[in-house]
Amino acid sequence: MSTLSLVPLFWFAGGCGLLWLFHARTLIRLWREPALAAPVVIVESDDWGPGPVEDAEVLDRITGLLAGIRDSAGGAPVMTLGVVLGKPDGAAILADDCGAYHRSTLDEPRYAPIVAAIMRGCAEGVFALQRHGLEHCWPDSLLGQARRDAGLRAWLADPGARSEALPPALQSRWVDAAVLPSRALQEAEIRAAVIEEAVLFRRVFGDAPEVAVPNTFVWDDVVERAWADSGVRWVVTCGRRYEGRAADGRLLPASSRILNGQPGSGGVGYVVRDVYFEPIRGHRAEQVWRAVDEHVAVARPTLLETHRESFIAAPEVREACLAELGRALEGLRQRHPDIRFLSTAALAEAMHLPGSPFLLTGRLRRFCVFLRRLLAEPVLVRALKLSGLRFVLPPLVRILSRV
């Protein structure tokens, strides 16, 4: 073999070496991330909690819609409900001139129809509960801003006010956003709040969920450890963790990149939810289908992020949103006959169970997935281009896939 013919081999080996030198940690994590053998899709819907009795009717409509769709194993799509157990009692807070916090919680008789509708969906196997906070704000942050913000006091004065209308910074429960930039909460405060939530969950629903969804994806290690100590095993993330709000109320830069199955503090494990599907904002089924195709290529689950707001709008808008959700799920079933619908907790368990039928087997198949993940990883784009691997890996993947 001539020296000239060895140049491409040396070049390829050098590119791999440099990639390992500068991104070894990322490469190891991509290899260790669980690889799924079949498409898995979950609908995750946040912010359900106290509201008018009409919310119960909507929840029953969603139950009927989901129960009418089945995967190849006979399972119905699961919508996880990120439950907010309470809301500020605006009238009582204003009566105290914003000097003390008062809340209204799901265990009050007026919310019994909503709780009953949630329980019916759980019994049908189409709802799964997740912790999303006792309320969608930190109480002292709300009080601090309400004392100087007439608009926030007007929100408190509205009996039908929803947490979705709060300023974004206030919706981050696990930081003190009374004054921006936000400050970290004391550990004792966090632990007391987590325990209070768990107790109320058990009182309302009979148990506290093992899955938690951080409000606006702002949380830290202290919150994780408190969750773990109260029974949380899995934390839903957007693939990033944010730990505060800047002076303008925006999220601070992400502190870390997160992959499925990655461990967190206190022994919790992460599940990534990174597909936004909000019909009320114009998102359509075609976007879901494309996202699932992309996730299937890298053997990852697809968790769709949606919120209560898409299903509590005016009747004609609500009906359109429900129809679009149904169209998205039916289309997935037709495009992926082997699709599986699971709850987030069931998915997390499957990803951590050795020998699970949901996991891809065979080193060659997993290696093909690994290469596709390299090509799709944002942090590696520049390194792959500079090394030339960006042009070599795609044909290699195609060859290995045929083998």
Q: What's the rounded mean pLDDT across residues 388-392?
A: 84
Task: Report the candidate in 32, 44, 39 with the shortest Cα–Cα distance to residue 260.
Answer: 32
Q: What percent of the chain has pLDDT over 70?
A: 96
Q: What percent of the chain has pLDDT over 90?
A: 85
In 255-301, which residue ranges form alpha helices assigned H by DSSP? 285-297
C-beta separation of 341 from 330 below 8 A: no
The pLDDT assigned to 354 comes to 86
Compute the C-alpha angle 363/364/369, nearest 5°.
Answer: 95
pTM recorded for the entire structure: 0.94
Choose the weakest-confidence range: 5-9, 251-255, 340-344: 5-9
Check residues 22 and 112 and name the one with the higher pLDDT.
112
Evaluate if residue 14 carries a pLDDT over 80.
no
Other C-beta atoms lying within 10 Å of the C-beta of residue 33: 19
Q: In which domain, by residue range, is 115 found?
A: 43-359
How far apart CA 151 and CA 167 sit, in angstroms, is: 10
How far apart CA 331 and CA 324 sit, in angstroms, is: 10
- Quick one: which H or E segment has residue 272? strand 269-272
Does residue 113 form part of some domain?
A: yes
3-class DSSP state for residue 25?
helix
Does residue 265 form part of some domain?
A: yes
C-beta separation of 186 from 124 below 8 A: no
Per-residue pLDDT tens for 121-164? 999 999 999 999 999 999 999 999 999 999 999 999 999 999 99
Does residue 3 form part of some domain?
A: no
3-state secondary structure 121-174: HHHHCCEEEEECCCCCCCHHHHHHHHCCCHHHHHHHHCCCCCHHHCCCCCCCCC
The pLDDT assigned to 12 comes to 64
Does residue 177 form part of some domain?
A: yes
3-class DSSP state for residue 304?
strand
Q: pLDDT grade, residue 232 (50/70/90)?
A: very high
Does residue 327 form part of some domain?
A: yes
Structure tokens of 381? 């784009």
C-beta separation of 335 from 289 below 8 A: yes
Other C-beta atoms lying within 10 Å of the C-beta of residue 353: 12
Check residues 403 and 73 and name the one with the higher pLDDT.
73
Mean pLDDT computed over every residue of the chain? 94
Torsion sign (Cα): 219, 55, 347, 303: negative
Torsion sign (Cα): 64, 343, 346, 378: positive
Which residues face 16 on adjacent strands? none
Evaluate if residue 2 carries a pLDDT over 60.
no
The pLDDT assigned to 23 comes to 82
Q: pLDDT grade, residue 393 (50/70/90)?
A: confident
Residue 49 sits in a domain whose CATH number is 3.20.20.370
Q: Please state the domain count of the chain.
A: 1
How far apart CA 169 and CA 142 sit, in angstroms, is: 10
Which residues face 176 on adjacent strands? 183
Per-residue pLDDT tens for 104-119? 999 999 999 999 999 9
Evaluate if residue 221 carries a pLDDT over 80.
yes
Give the CA dihedral 313, 311, 336, 262, nearest 10 degrees. Answer: 120
C-beta separation of 270 from 258 below 8 A: yes
The pLDDT assigned to 165 comes to 92
Does residue 13 form part of some domain?
A: no
Does residue 369 form part of some domain?
A: no
Does residue 370 form part of some domain?
A: no
C-beta separation of 224 from 231 below 8 A: no
Structure tokens of 152? 């926030």
Evaluate if residue 379 carries a pLDDT over 60.
yes
C-beta separation of 325 from 61 below 8 A: no
Evaluate if residue 40 carries a pLDDT over 60.
yes
Contacts of 238 (CB under 8 A, 6+ apart): 217, 272, 273, 274, 305
The pLDDT assigned to 17 comes to 76
Residue 241 Cα to chain centre, angstroms: 11
How far apart CA 300 and CA 237 sit, in angstroms, is: 14
Tell me which DSSP letter residue 353 carries. Answer: S
Q: pLDDT grade, residue 383 (50/70/90)?
A: confident
Evaluate if residue 4 carries a pLDDT over 70.
no
The pLDDT assigned to 245 comes to 98
